[in-house]
Copies of this chain bind each other. A is one copy, B any other.
Amino acid sequence: MYSDLIVESGADLAQDTLGTLLSILRDGQPRTRAELVQLTGLARSTVSQRLDALLFHRWIVPAEHAISSGGRPSTAFAFNPRARIVLAVDLGVTHARLAVTDLSGSIVAERTCDVAIAQGPEPSLNWLLETFTELLAGCGHRMADVCGAGVGLPGPVEHDTGRPVNPPLMPGWDGFSVADWLGSRIGAPVLVDNDVNIMALGEHSAAGPQTDHLLFTKVGTGIGCGIISGGRLHRGARGAAGDIGHIRVPGSEVVCHCGNTGCLEAVAGGGAVAARLRAEELEAADARDVVRLVRAGNTWAIRQVRQSGRDLGLVLASIVNFFNPTEIVIGGDLADAGEHLIAGIREAIYGRSLPLATQWLNIRASDLGASAGVTGAASMIIEHVLTPESVEQSIRS
Contact = CB atoms under 8 A, between A and B. Distances in A.
A232 interface: yes
Contact of A241 (B42, B244, B323): B323
A232 to B, nearest CB: 6
A34 to B, nearest CB: 9
B360 A237 contact: yes
Please indicate which of the listed interface residues A166, A246, A323, A359 has the most CB atoms of chain B within 10 Å of its own CB. A323
Contacts of A356: 156, 165-166, 238, 240, 243
A120 interface: no
Interface string A243-255: 1101110110000
Interface stretch (A2-10, A88-96, A201-209): A2-10
A352 interface: yes
A46 B35 contact: no
A12 B41 CA distance: 10
Given A236-B357, A323-B241, A354-B240, A318 B248 contact: yes
A326 interface: yes
A54 to B, nearest CB: 15
Nearest to A252: B250
A237 B225 CA distance: 18
A9 to B, nearest CB: 5
Contact of A2 (B66, B239, B314): B66
A75 interface: no
A40 B13 contact: yes
Given A16-B41, A41-B16, A321 B244 contact: yes
A251 to B, nearest CB: 7
Nearest to A20: B16
A212 interface: yes
A236 B324 contact: yes
Interface string A155-172: 010000000011000000
B318 A247 contact: yes
A325 interface: yes
A235 to B, nearest CB: 8
A369 interface: no
A361 interface: yes
B234 A232 contact: no
Interface string A16-52: 1100100000000000100100111111001000000
29 contacts: A2-B66, A5-B35, A6-B35, A6-B38, A6-B39, A12-B39, A13-B39, A16-B40, A41-B42, A41-B46, A156-B356, A212-B237, A213-B237, A225-B322, A227-B323, A229-B229, A230-B230, A230-B232, A234-B323, A236-B357, A237-B325, A237-B357, A240-B354, A242-B322, A244-B322, A248-B250, A250-B250, A315-B318, A318-B319
Interface of A: 2, 5-6, 9, 12-14, 16-17, 20, 32, 35, 38-43, 46, 66-67, 156, 165-166, 212-213, 225, 227, 229-230, 232, 234-244, 246-248, 250-251, 260, 262, 314-315, 317-319, 321-326, 352, 354, 356-357, 359-361
Q: Which 5 A-B pairs have the closest CB atoms?
A: A236-B324, A241-B324, A237-B326, A229-B229, A240-B324
